[in-house]
Structure 1
Amino acid sequence: MYTDVDITKLGWYEDESTPSLQLIENSKVAKNAAILNVGAGSTTLIDSLVEKGYTHLIANDISSCALNKIKHRIGAKQVEVTWIVDDLVNPTELKKIPQVDVWNDRAVLHFFVDEKDQDAYFELVNQKVKKNGFVILAVFNLEGATMCSGLPVKRYDAKMLQEKLGKGYLLKESFNYIYTMPNGDDRNYVYTLFQKIN
């Protein structure tokens, strides 16, 4: 998907990750908190978090090519980030990392349309997030597109995400957000911030 492609043309591309940054800052985690950005793609969120002084960042994607684009952008600061190439629904390397303070996902979960993949995803979330840690999920909302970059998606609202996470998570904040692509297309998201309470 990422080889020889203009990343700004991808259906999930975002040039500034303002809502994700807002929710990370709203969680009030320390600058040395472990923040796992899953399905990092070629997001600029990693760049922004490095610039803001966060020191324990983990970037995951199934594509090493995608992560290499971020590494190239942030240059020498790439040593401040742990890079993990792994599959969220069939993980090997992610299983080995310690629990994290923040799990951040913008535009990955909604690509898992099979229930078994969704179950595997949320099982990994539950394994990897510390008690009192935070889960940030940003996915296409119920008014969003049913396809993205030629792939089917599963749309959600905050209540549906709560049901997937279970009673061990408390919804702290949610809002709908419309992102306008460089080509003018709108993407309708719901952003959610949950805290793991037990």
Structure 2
Amino acid sequence: MTATDRQSHWQTVYLTKGEQQVSWSQADPQPSLRLVESVATSRDAAIVDVGGGASRLVDALLKDGFHALTVLDLSGAALASARARLGAAGQGVRWIVGDATVWQPEQVFDVWHDRAAFHFLVEEADRSAYLDRLNRGVRPGGHAVIATFALDGPEKCSGLPVQRYDSLTLSRTIGPAFELVAQEPHRHVTPWGATQSFQFSVLRRL
């Protein structure tokens, strides 16, 4: 799938379903919020939410006093939904419509968060392009908090195949520039009551 195809797919998803009708919707963005806050060095930490869409993680981070926030997503409709929800509170957030495999980070971040974007990259070239951005986009000593479907999680999501991981296979895929420092299983309950198995990994940039 090309970057253009991915963007068209996710734009259609958000335009036809909306924030509350997608499987990954969360009213309370856990454990993402807790894990991001566990590695953020201060409320001045530069944080990027890759594939953040209409997630409420940005809301929670703003409420907790973080202000150097960037949200990147393929879908402009998803970001517009989040911006409208936040209103004036979101004016200081940097909103970027883009694909993580072609995006060029203009700064380095203290924390890179990705809940369920990386696992859609099933082709090696796309994973390599994402990892190039990850390596350039996280400062030495910074952290990546990356969640994917676990080995017993779904094989598809929103009609697309995914690559499932445990923390060790994810760490090996990401490569030697990062070390795995924490891991956590998570059972996500969708808005219609189905349960999905995720794994969350916290990795430190060496």
Residues 15-48 of structure 1, C-alpha deviation per residue, up to 9 Å, x if partnerless? 2111011111211421011000011111000000
- Aligned partner (choices 186, 195, 201) of residue 177 of structure 1: 186
In 2, Cα distance between equivalents of 1:177 and 1:170 = 21
Number of aligned residue pairs = 194
In 2, Cα distance between equivalents of 1:19 and 1:193 = 11
* In the alignment, structure 1 residue 128 sits paired with structure 2 residue 137: yes
DSSP 3-state at the match of 1:2: helix
Residues 159-190 of structure 1, C-alpha deviation per residue, up to 9 Å, x if partnerless? 11111222221211101100111201111100
Q: Residues 12 and 148 of structure 1 are in contact (CA less than 8 Å); yes or no, is this contact kept in structure 2?
A: no
TM-score, normalising length from structure 2? Answer: 0.91
CA shift at 1:11, angstroms? 2.4
Change (3 A) 1:79 1:175: same
In 2, Cα distance between equivalents of 1:96 and 1:177 = 29
In 2, Cα distance between equivalents of 1:15 and 1:146 = 24
Q: Which amino acid aligns with 1:133?
A: G
- Aligned partner (choices 171, 181, 186) of residue 195 of structure 2: 186
Q: Residues 34 and 102 of structure 1 are in contact (CA less than 8 Å); yes or no, is this contact kept in structure 2?
A: yes
In 1, Cα distance between equivalents of 2:80 and 2:92 = 14
Residue in structure 2 matched with residue 148 of structure 1 by the alignment: 157
DSSP 3-state at the match of 2:182: strand
Residues 55-77 of structure 1, C-alpha deviation per residue, up to 9 Å, x if partnerless? 10001101111001110111101
* In the alignment, structure 1 residue 115 sits paired with structure 2 residue 127: no
In 2, Cα distance between equivalents of 1:9 and 1:79 = 26
In 2, Cα distance between equivalents of 1:4 and 1:167 = 40
In 1, Cα distance between equivalents of 2:194 and 2:21 = 11
Residue in structure 2 matched with residue 164 of structure 1 by the alignment: 173
DSSP 3-state at the match of 1:132: strand
DSSP 3-state at the match of 2:122: coil
1:42-121 to 2 correspondence within 5 Å? 42-91=54-103, 95-121=104-130
Q: Residues 179 and 187 of structure 1 are in contact (CA less than 8 Å); yes or no, is this contact kept in structure 2?
A: yes
* In the alignment, structure 1 residue 6 sits paired with structure 2 residue 15: no
Q: Residues 58 and 83 of structure 1 are in contact (CA less than 8 Å); yes or no, is this contact kept in structure 2?
A: yes
Q: Residues 140 and 190 of structure 1 are in contact (CA less than 8 Å); yes or no, is this contact kept in structure 2?
A: yes
CA shift at 1:149, angstroms? 1.4
Q: Which amino acid aligns with 1:45?
A: L
Residue in structure 1 matched with residue 10 of structure 2 by the alignment: none
Residues 139-173 of structure 1, C-alpha deviation per residue, up to 9 Å, x if partnerless? 10000000111111110011111112222212111
TM-score, normalising length from structure 1? Answer: 0.94
* In the alignment, structure 1 residue 24 sits paired with structure 2 residue 47: no
Identical columns (%)? 33
